[in-house]
């Protein structure tokens, strides 16, 4: 069975999924830039930033404790996206520009770098956890959506991204896949749409 986890790749415990490298405690207001990278480089970028350079980089990940032949044990739950501590963003960007780590670029929305808070990442982690029913109590709380609808993500780390709904399914909670025009598809709980 797959378990979705949102801890950094250094094996930290589930309670503190982001461990600041400089021993500062992440608060609910700690800011992260939302960055985009090649979807097949998401894990290697997070590993390189966190393990080799001590930069707080977070990705939601899926762990498969019993992978079948050809399956990976760990993979990114949202391929192509990584969240980097804003205080270390310039250092991370220099590493990327010099090709010391896999390249990435900050997500730009309305002319500014898109950021999110530590609390938004915690809420997102809780909502995508398959053992959690999400951030709503019943299906009646969810927006009415259909495949093909043009939507805007209203909350969480992807807030403000517009796209088209390309899939709706149940995986612990009602999930949707939204396909923005500038990057690969994002799968997230429907509750984040409004």
The three-state secondary structure class of 96 is helix
- Ordered by start, the domain boundaries in the chain are 2-136
Q: What is the pTM assigned to this prediction?
A: 0.73
What's the burial of 124, exposed, middle or buried (CB within 10 Å: 0-12/13-18/19+)?
buried
In the chain (194 residues long), the average pLDDT of successive 10-residue segments reads 37 35 55 89 90 87 82 82 90 92 87 86 72 45 75 85 80 72 76 74
What pLDDT, on a 0 to 100 scale, did the predictor assign at position 94? 93
Give residue 5's pLDDT: 39
Residues 5 and 16: their CA atoms lie apart, in Å, by 11
Collapse the DSSP code of 78 into the 3-class scheme (helix H, G, I; strand E, B; otherwise coil) and give the result. coil
Nearest to 107 by CA among 163, 36, 179, 186: 36
């Amino acid at each position: 069975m797959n378990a979705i986890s949102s801890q950094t790749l250094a094996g930290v415990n589930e309670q503190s999924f982001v461990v600041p490298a400089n021993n500062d405690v992440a608060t609910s207001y700690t800011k992260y830039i939302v960055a985009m990278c090649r979807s097949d480089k998401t894990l290697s970028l997070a590993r390189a930033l966190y393990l080799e350079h001590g930069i707080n980089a977070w990705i939601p990940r899926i762990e498969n404790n019993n992978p079948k032949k050809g399956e990976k044990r760990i993979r990114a739950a949202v391929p192509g996206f990584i969240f980097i501590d804003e205080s270390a963003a310039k250092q991370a960007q220099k590493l990327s520009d010099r090709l010391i780590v896999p390249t990435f670029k900050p997500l730009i929305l309305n002319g500014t770098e898109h950021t999110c808070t530590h609390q938004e990442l915690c809420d997102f982690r809780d909502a995508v956890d398959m053992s959690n029913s999400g951030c709503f109590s019943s299906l009646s709380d969810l927006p009415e959506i259909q495949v093909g609808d043009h939507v805007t993500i209203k909350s969480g780390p992807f807030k403000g991204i517009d796209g088209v709904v390309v899939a709706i399914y149940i995986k612990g909670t009602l999930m949707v896949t939204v396909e923005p025009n500038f990057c690969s598809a994002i799968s997230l709980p429907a509750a984040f749409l409004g």
